[in-house]
């Protein structure tokens, strides 16, 4: 993936993530995380048929990927597997809404801290408007 994380593609790893992972519920997305012993951070983006037809599912996954790309540099460097699952409202929102929801979920999961530097392209409150 362009931001440095690897895609989670192993069927066995995906099954373990969904069976053993901790679930964090957001308004637009769900975060399922599972700590692993070693290896890079791996990410999976999922949109079920409940999200809508193929165009809506693809849009939801694109939005989640774009939002994750913005928050990925601020994540703690830990070996973890993450699954982002789109909820039905995700495809109708803007990328910034999805990013804010992801930040909140990552904060609750203990993987992201607002004290870390702002993602590229955004101004910190100290810089002003």
Residue 45 burial by Cβ neighbours in a 10 Å radius (0-12, 13-18, 19+): buried
- Give pLDDT, residue 63: 96
pLDDT over 90 at 23, yes or no: yes
- Give pLDDT, residue 129: 40
Alpha helix (H) residue ranges in the chain:
11-20, 54-71, 95-109
Residue 51 CA neighbour count, 13 Å, CB half: 22
Q: For the chain, which domains are there?
A: 6-110 (3.30.230.10)
Residue 29: strand, helix, or coil:
strand
Q: How confident is the model at residue 112 (pLDDT cuts 50, 70, 90)?
A: confident
pLDDT over 60 at 116, yes or no: no
Distance CA 80, CA 78 (A): 6
- Give pLDDT, residue 126: 46
Residue 35 burial by Cβ neighbours in a 10 Å radius (0-12, 13-18, 19+): exposed
């Amino acid at each position: 993936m362009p931001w440095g994380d690897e895609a989670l593609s192993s069927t066995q790893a995906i099954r373990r993530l969904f069976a053993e992972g901790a679930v964090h519920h957001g308004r637009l997305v769900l975060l399922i995380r599972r700590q692993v012993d070693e290896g890079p951070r791996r990410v999976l983006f999922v949109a079920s048929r409940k999200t809508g037809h193929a165009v809506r599912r693809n849009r939801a996954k694109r939005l989640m990927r774009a939002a994750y790309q913005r928050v990925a540099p601020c994540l703690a460097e830990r070996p973890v597997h993450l699954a982002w699952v789109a909820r039905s409202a995700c495809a109708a929102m803007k990328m910034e809404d999805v990013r804010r929801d992801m930040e909140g979920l990552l904060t609750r999961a203990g993987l992201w801290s607002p004290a870390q530097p702002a993602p590229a392209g955004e101004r910190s409150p100290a810089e002003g408007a």
